[in-house]
Chain A
Amino acid sequence: MVGQAIRVSDFPILSRLVGGKPLAYLDNAATSQKPRSVIEASSRFYERGNANVHRAIHALGEEATAAYEEARAKARRFIGAEKDSEIVFTRGTTESINLVAASWGDARLREGDVILVTEMEHHSDIVPWQLVAARRGCRLRAAPLEADGSLDLSRMERDWDSRTRIVAVTQASNVLGTINDVGTMADIAHERGALVLVDAAQSAPHIPIDVRDLGCDFLAFSGHKAYGPMGIGVLYGRESLLEDMPPWMGGGDMIRSVSLESSTWNDLPWKFEAGTPNVVGAIGLGAALDYVSALGWDAIGEREAALSAYAIARLGEVEGLALYGSAPRRCPVFSFNLGAVHAHDVAQYLDREGIAVRAGHHCAQPLMRRLGIPAAVRASLAFYNGEEEIDRLVRGLAGAARFYA
């Protein structure tokens, strides 16, 4: 299928000026921008469709419920899951991981069990596990990073601890851009009786995902990094696992019946969706996933590969620039430092030029410690970025190097 052409004009915010200069938005790994179709789906819901879901006996309520559940089906198709019951809407990746750590972790982990993460995890795939490890008396281990910013899977097999119960790993690093072979990691884990949770926050906007092909047990991603709204995300879980897991939040919608003594739980996935959900967020996410499907992964992949190659070549020309991570399979995320200039100073200088990048530890302090740096600048791209924006970045970096020298 030939996808619809990539049009920058679909993203209204990209035409704005910042400090009198055209915005060059290179902070997509923090959050992506939204196409007009997502913005319009959100405003259309509040103008025409607003009602609560799963309870009203009136037209608006039924329409809202249908739209919310249709969004769930879109999310299911987006990640290749088999059943809508395996798709839980959450606030985002962080909440999805916390749900698994709290519900599955508290019910299934025993004293002395091992939770395996990696040195490149985002804090959201470390801290929830630390919390449950402290409650259950488990150990948290981290698979080490190789020099190029990748994971050595044969080393993971050699170092395997027989008490490992779950492997929680990012599919793409938010700092290094490395794409991990989470499918092979799932095979390794399953052969040894452990489960696998995939953090797809960074990968979902860039590469096609098929949970059945990957063979993962859980997968989490956020709407707002995948061109959708903030405050909506997805947890995929294999049905048999979700069935066995206790609810993690109580309230309306997640129950079948309640008495003052006890309650029974609703069916999947609503068992995990207590309270009024983010209906407009789900609908906006559905619109974002439609937008991505219309473009097609071939077009997105081709565009981002060309941009990445250009960025790597151009950044390589910048004197004193140290780029972190050189794994062969990567997302268009580039973290670097410019000589001894602090990342915040670099970002502030680029901001003056209308260029938005991220500076700091990127919620990956263990990784920064592993790299031996306090902070880094990160330029992260999306298919709507252009070569001329990378040129402006490179000129801005040269200017920053002169300014702070």
Chain B
Amino acid sequence: MSDFDELYQEIILDHYRRPRGSARLDHVPDSAILENPTCGDSIKVEVTLSPEGSFLGARFEAKGCAISTASASLMTLAVAGRGLEEVRDIAWSFIRALRGDDSVEALDAMGDLVAFKGVAKFPARVKCATLAWHALLEALPPS
């Protein structure tokens, strides 16, 4: 597989064309928008918590490239049904693997997120793949 084909795997293109967890988030203030300054991508993430404060799920509204949109979409699936601490762990594991702080092989154990392994070969696109995850971390209640 070429680097390009590894970057734009079928699952990524699928989530780009039909994003899961995407919603109009007009009620979320614009101050929650996270931007990728190099390309003008922007994303809002909304986290739903139970009255007791446990994590129920995340939704997003984004203007972005295929990589950032697919990453946001797959993120909402990856964190569904998890506990707050687990969500934080997944987010940091994903970010650290793509940034090169940890081995990119760490993605092997993260289900469909393994599709983003190819992004590590394109340093300029790492920010695209991690934008939604940073927005998620900011939307979570302080630990």
Q: When A344-B65, A345-B66, A352-B4 are in contact, do A404 and B40 touch as well, CB less than 8 Å? A: no
A309-362 contacts to B, CB under 8 A, are 342-345, 348-349, 351-352, 359-361
In the bound complex, residues from chain B placing their C-beta under 8 Å from that of A345 are 65-67
- Does A374 sit within 8 A of B, measured CB to CB? yes
Number of interface residues of B (CB under 8 A): 20
Q: When A348-B4, A352-B2, A404-B16 are in contact, do A368 and B66 touch as well, CB less than 8 Å? A: no
Report A320 CB to chain B, min CB distance, Å: 16
A363-382 contacts to B, CB under 8 A, are 365, 368, 373-375
Q: When A342-B66, A348-B125 are in contact, do A374 and B2 touch as well, CB less than 8 Å? A: no
Number of interface residues of A (CB under 8 A): 19
A374 CA to B7 CA in the complex, in Å?
22
- Does B38 sit within 8 A of A, measured CB to CB? yes
B6-22 contacts to A, CB under 8 A, are 7-8, 13, 16
Report B127 CB to chain A, min CB distance, Å: 10
Mask: chain B, 21-65; 1 = CB below 8 Å from A; 0 = not: 000000000000000011111100000000000000000000111
Instruction: Tell which of A351, A352, A361 touches B39, judged by Cβ atoms closer than 8 Å.
Output: A361
Find the residue from A342, A365, A375 having the highest chain B CB count within 10 A. Answer: A342
Interface secondary structure of A, over-half rule? helix
- Cβ A348 vs Cβ B7 within 8 A: yes
- Does B115 sit within 8 A of A, measured CB to CB? no
Instruction: Tell which of A348, A361, A365 touches B122, judged by Cβ atoms closer than 8 Å.
Output: A348
A351 CA to B63 CA in the complex, in Å?
22
A376 CA to B16 CA in the complex, in Å?
19
A239 CA to B58 CA in the complex, in Å?
62
- Does B104 sit within 8 A of A, measured CB to CB? no
In the bound complex, residues from chain B placing their C-beta under 8 Å from that of A351 are 4
In the bound complex, residues from chain B placing their C-beta under 8 Å from that of A404 are 13, 16, 66
In the bound complex, residues from chain B placing their C-beta under 8 Å from that of A375 are 39-41
Report B75 CB to chain A, min CB distance, Å: 18
Report B85 CB to chain A, min CB distance, Å: 33
Find the residue from B40, B64, B66, B128 having the highest chain A CB count within 10 A. Answer: B40
Report B50 CB to chain A, min CB distance, Å: 35
In the bound complex, residues from chain A placing their C-beta under 8 Å from that of B42 are 374
Report B60 CB to chain A, min CB distance, Å: 16
A368 CA to B7 CA in the complex, in Å?
27
A343 CA to B128 CA in the complex, in Å?
12
Mask: chain B, 102-139; 1 = CB below 8 Å from A; 0 = not: 00000000000000000000100100100000000000
Sample (25) of A-B pairs whose CB atoms are under 8 Å apart:
A19-B2, A342-B39, A343-B39, A343-B65, A344-B39, A344-B65, A344-B125, A344-B128, A345-B66, A345-B67, A348-B4, A348-B125, A349-B4, A351-B4, A352-B2, A361-B38, A361-B39, A361-B40, A365-B40, A368-B40, A374-B39, A374-B41, A374-B63, A375-B41, A404-B13
Give me the interface of B with A, judged by CB distance under 8 Å: 2, 4, 7-8, 13, 16, 37-42, 63-67, 122, 125, 128
Further pairs besides A360-B39, A404-B66: 8, Cβ < 8 Å: A344-B39, A344-B65, A345-B67, A349-B4, A359-B39, A361-B38, A374-B40, A375-B41
